[in-house]
Chain A
């Protein structure tokens, strides 16, 4: 009777997706998108992918929604373009074509499905990790994850580059123009310590059960943002050396371990036998810190020119 659960989830997902692309108030569209992230999170649980579900809810819906909310506030300055009815019809026909083609591909996927699950199962014991997804991220496809941390750093540099570099020592503009209310302050004081613990747990547990650097980092970033919004701490000055070292720690600790692999193991990003697990944990600590800082700073945006 899985259809009784799946069909409503799918219909809700389609409904919020249509609401998000339909016209109207920018805040309503972003709110619909955040709901979309939440529904997708449930769907990922249905697909037996709890690690993805956590990421989707924390990053896909949560922090992405927070960024988009800021854009919604500026929507009145956006330039609207009118498109004709004919164009709408053409777009609809194309979209229907895409749906039909993709649906056919999905329905005609080969049976039995090709899978790398057996290969992961065979090789996972060598990594001392219990969570196969973490194994893929940090060991089997470590290069992708290493570059992913670089991608975050480069995206942040791109965001900062929108302000002239003499301002780069300053702080980002406040997230919320209104002064923090008592309710938000109270909420933050209660939620932030719990959230930080959850974030650390997610990352720590990620070696063996669902969770990991990305999910833990995202929760930590969200807590930092909440604390900043509630006025518990100021937005950081972007010129701070400790902040910049934290940004570099993840990618360069990962690179350092990778390079060491040439000398103490057999290849770049090969972990030497015996200390595999401690090394993986060390890499994860570094990238979790960098991911948390980078995600939070990406939400905060470019420096606004107020001197530190």
Chain B
């Protein structure tokens, strides 16, 4: 079906549609009765998912990137949108996770239509979800540094309020801290973009990359933009805002924040260092990024082991797992046949982390809903109350640990082979240590949950189908374990980036 949609719609409609379609959930949410608006929002999410699939199908079928100029104005004066294989991959991953989040958050069909039914998500949640969707798609498609700035701010303003939807003191504190970090990141990013315009008179990534050399001004611009993105991606040592923010939000919001929102700045870092920076400079800087990534993995995993609460444990695990995406840089930027494998492994890790982390946050939310708390010490026997959720948590954890047959396993094998062939032994060691530590914190939870409880549990009923949503996401993460162990040709469609021949 998506293939038909892909060939029926012009490429520019797919590109623009991916950005604007989610926004059409906003008017019903502001004007229609809540229940109807919620159902319409789920339909809009589904339509956006179909557009993302159609776009990816089109990119795959053409074997070339899709591109369009907004209003027909070519860069440098106008703004271009462009989807290569990597963007299409990110679009589909995001759309699947966000659609599943919408299903998970939906009011149970047939539930008592109370004025504020328990467990109902407020309209604000749906509006913010739709805005996150649109902003992320724009991050993945925009080629203009200032359009990306607007996309990042839209993402921030939609993501921050998700943290404090329940309105508790600690959550509002976490949201404010998140906002200040994110704003600091945006303004540094903007500073870099301003310097780039001053040097080259354009903000188009492709045109800048063609003109750029490793001049001091350009290096400063890249440094400012990178530090800004690291603050937004919560890379060690700028990670302190993440755990309270991601663990305090409602489960559906946590899933969204940890699985996909955090990937936007990482996607942009990849673009800066692979598409924008001269190769020599990227090779020189990559070990710094990898060193911070290694520290993130080790510190984040150790702190996760010590957490008393399940959602905090999962949040620290996010701070650790993004480290792997930075470990990829030294392997991916060098000119070697192995760099393509490292790059595929990094992308695969990004996606399998997104699916497993969304599944784990949802499962943790269901466990907390069943028990009325999320203290790890009190989890014993929760496996009997919400068995499907526990399986989802375990499968997601399997992928984090990097055990076969999960996606995390194949991703780590790719990264490890590349690291060993490129003689980056320390990177290989960190990958292995990180896997062991993840095993520690995942098994700690699963082991407890499988125990027989000391006294009978008082369990509140949980909607079963929400457990199945979590399980479906975890199964996708496991399913990535069956991709062939070789560089993906899809991810390399449209690289190196260029406008040539794409737009009539």
Contacts and interface: CB of A to CB of B under 8 A. Distances in A.
B111 interface: no
B167 to A, nearest CB: 7
Interface of A is mostly: helix
B30 A248 contact: yes
> Chain A interface: which size bin?
35 or more
Contacts of A123: 73, 77
B220 A105 contact: yes
B161 A109 contact: no
Contact of A270 (B72, B128, B191, B198): B72
B29 to A, nearest CB: 9
B127 A154 contact: yes
Interface string A125-164: 0000000000000011111100110110111011111111
B127 A142 contact: no
Nearest to A271: B71
B288 interface: no
Contacts of B34: 165
Contacts of A106: 198
Interface in A138-196: 139-144, 147-148, 150-151, 153-155, 157-166, 168
Interface in B164-187: 164-165, 167, 172
Most buried by B among A101, A147, A163: A147
B134 interface: yes
Interface residues of B, number: 54
B131 A268 contact: no
Interface stretch (A15-23, A50-58, A114-122, A212-220): A114-122
Contact of A114 (B12, B153, B200): B200
A247 interface: yes
Interface stretch (A6-14, A223-231, A259-267): A259-267
Interface string B1-39: 000000000001100100010010011001100100000
B70 A269 contact: yes
A234 to B, nearest CB: 21
Given A109-B198, A158-B160, A267-B71, A150 B131 contact: yes
Given A115-B201, A251-B23, A161 B122 contact: yes
B154 A141 contact: no
B280 interface: no
Contacts of B23: 150, 251, 255
Contacts of B16: 258, 268
Nearest to B120: A165
A151 B216 contact: no
Contacts of A143: 70-71, 79, 147
Contacts of B160: 158
Contacts of A158: 124, 128, 157-158, 160-161
A144 B79 CA distance: 9
A267 B72 contact: yes
Nearest to A147: B150
A271 B165 CA distance: 40
A78 to B, nearest CB: 10
Given A119-B76, A154-B157, 14 more contacts: A108-B217, A116-B202, A120-B77, A139-B71, A140-B71, A143-B79, A143-B147, A151-B154, A154-B131, A161-B122, A164-B122, A244-B30, A244-B31, A252-B27
17 contacts: A108-B216, A109-B198, A109-B199, A110-B199, A114-B198, A143-B79, A155-B157, A157-B161, A161-B124, A164-B122, A166-B115, A244-B31, A255-B23, A258-B16, A262-B12, A267-B71, A269-B70
Counting from the closest, the 6 A-B pairs by CB-CB distance are A114-B201, A161-B124, A158-B161, A269-B71, A165-B122, A267-B72
